[in-house]
Each structure stands twice: as structure tokens, then as C-alpha cells.
Amino acid sequence: PEAIFPDQVTAQQQGNVIIHALDNYDNSTVAYNPIVTNGIVRFEGAFQKYSDFSYQIGIADSSVVFGSKKDPSDNEYDGKTVCYQNNGHLVHINKNEIAGNALIEDRQTIALEVNMTSSPRTLTFFINGQQQPLSVCNIPPSIRFWVPTVETNKLFVGRINPQTTSADLGKLFGEVGQVESANVATTNEGISRRFGYVTMNSVEAAQRAIQVLNGRTLNGHNIVVRFYRDISPPPAPIQRNWRGKGTKRF
């Protein structure tokens, strides 16, 4: 497969390995050609030296073009991506996190298999060859696979008032820096799960948000703000990479 880089700063390719820049903490998303429209196709590889970071892998509607420093969960891609997070949760159309699959760990082989000929079209996941319990159906008729390079400016926000909205989060965090996305987690019925996620436009802005907003009162609740990866401050730069094993058409 051919990697599509949104910029030439955050990552580079060496053979079948996507390597993140040592001195750059910005998140970015690398999509792959060819576009898949038919047959059964499997995309697989392994993450290396990502154990201290939050990350995900998935598919996107072929119309999606990931910009520089963009994440598949950003609002502009609503309904057009499927994300398998390293905590084992799936995120799809309504951004609800659905638990049930295994965690992704360093150097494990993770595979995504799309069946574009079945009705409905399906996406199935495998960890070290073992099929995972949760899959996705009714995927778009034309997709690309994608992987991240890093995501260190995503924040977890806890102890949220159940009446707090995503717009409330975005407005509050906008006081300390530029917000890429802000979302309150909800159940399938749309009820707040009393926590959410905010992605700032840089690690520096995320650090500033933690310093200023952790313990801040929002709609009567003192919120908790920390890095989604639960490490602060960021670790020393290391070479993180995705080692692809290619795609296979059945």
C-alpha cells in the first residue's frame, strides 16, 4: 500500500515502516492507497514504542482527506471514520466509545479486514490472529485504511456535570488555547457519561489547559483534566513507528 502523508514534518516512511519525527509531538494521520471498493482485504501491522501514548487505527470513507495535525475523531470527520482505540474501544458514527475488544499492545499484530462483497459490508478486527468480539457493519462502499503517528495533545476531562455539553467544554478550553475538538461522552441514548475528551492544537496548549483548568468549576462541578495517555509531562522524545505488514486481498 501507498502511504499518504498530510505533511513532511511529523513522520516519514522507511520501507514499510512509518516513523514519527523524534522532535515533534504533534498528532497526524497517515491514510493509505489504494482505495478499497471490492473483495475481502486485510490490512495489518504493529505499533512499536507507543506504550506511553494513546493511539488508534481504523478506516475512513474514501472522501476523507486528513489535514496536517488532524485526528480521525475530529468533528469534521463525523460519521466518516471507524476508530479502534488502543484501550480496546470502538468509536464510530455517534462518537460513543464501545468497549469489548482487546487492548492493543506494543509489537502485537493488529489486522483490519473489510468485506466489501457481503451485505451489509463489514469490518472485522484481529489481535495476533485472534478475531475480536466487536465488529462493524454497514461500512462505506469505498474506504481507505489509516494509522496515526502520535496523539499527545488529547485530554481526558472527568467529573463533568451531566448537563454540560460539548460546546461548554470547547468554550472553556478555548480560554487557554486553540481547541481542535471537544466532546462529552454519551450513552447510546444520548445521556452524558460525565466525562469527555478535548484535543488541543499542540502539546503546549494541552499542558496549559491542565495547569489552568484542572480543578476548575464548570457548571457547578470541579472538573479533572489530565492527559488522555495519563502521563504528564510528555516523556522524552522516542522513535515511535508503525510497522506495516501490507494488505492482502482474498
pLDDT band at 57 (very low <50, low <70, confident <90, very high): very high
pLDDT band at 234 (very low <50, low <70, confident <90, very high): very low
Same domain, 137 and 27: yes
pLDDT in the model for residue 197: 87
Please tell me the pTM assigned to this model: 0.64
Could you tell me if residue 232 is inside a domain?
Answer: no
What average pLDDT does the segment 115-127 reach? 97
Same domain, 223 and 243: no
Same domain, 221 and 100: no
Of 130, 18, 116, the residue nearest 59 (C-alpha): 116
Contacts of 179 (CB under 8 A, 6+ apart): 170, 173, 198, 199, 200, 201
What is the per-residue pLDDT across 80-100, written as a single tens digit (0 to 9) for each? Answer: 999 998 889 998 866 678 899
Same domain, 39 and 115: yes
Of 65, 46, 54, the residue nearest 112 (C-alpha): 46
Could you tell me if residue 86 is inside a domain?
Answer: yes
With 0-12 / 13-18 / 19 or more C-beta atoms within 10 angstroms meaning exposed / middle / buried, residue 100 is exposed
Domain count, the chain: 2
Could you tell me if residue 213 is inside a domain?
Answer: yes
Pick the range with the lowest mean pLDDT from 9-23, 31-45, 172-186: 9-23
Q: Which residues pair with 40 in a beta bridge?
A: 115
Same domain, 32 and 124: yes
- What is the rounded end-to-end Cα distance, in angstroms, of the chain? 15
Contact yes or no for 64/42 (Cβ under 8 A): no
Same domain, 158 and 138: no
pLDDT in the model for residue 201: 80
pLDDT in the model for residue 162: 95
Same domain, 71 and 99: yes
pLDDT in the model for residue 210: 93
Same domain, 127 and 185: no
**Does 215 score more than 60 pLDDT?**
yes
Same domain, 110 and 61: yes
Could you tell me if residue 126 is inside a domain?
Answer: yes
What is the per-residue pLDDT across 136-193, written as a single tens digit (0 to 9) for each? Answer: 999 999 999 998 776 567 788 999 999 999 999 999 999 999 998 899 988 878 899 8
User: ∠ CA(65), CA(68), CA(70), 5° rounding?
Assistant: 70
Range of the domain at 206: 154-227
Q: Which residues pair with 87 in a beta bridge?
A: none
Q: CATH number, domain at 38?
A: 2.60.120.920
Same domain, 6 and 92: yes
Could you tell me if residue 62 is inside a domain?
Answer: yes
Q: CATH number, domain at 216?
A: 3.30.70.330
Same domain, 18 and 136: yes
Same domain, 85 and 206: no
pLDDT in the model for residue 250: 45
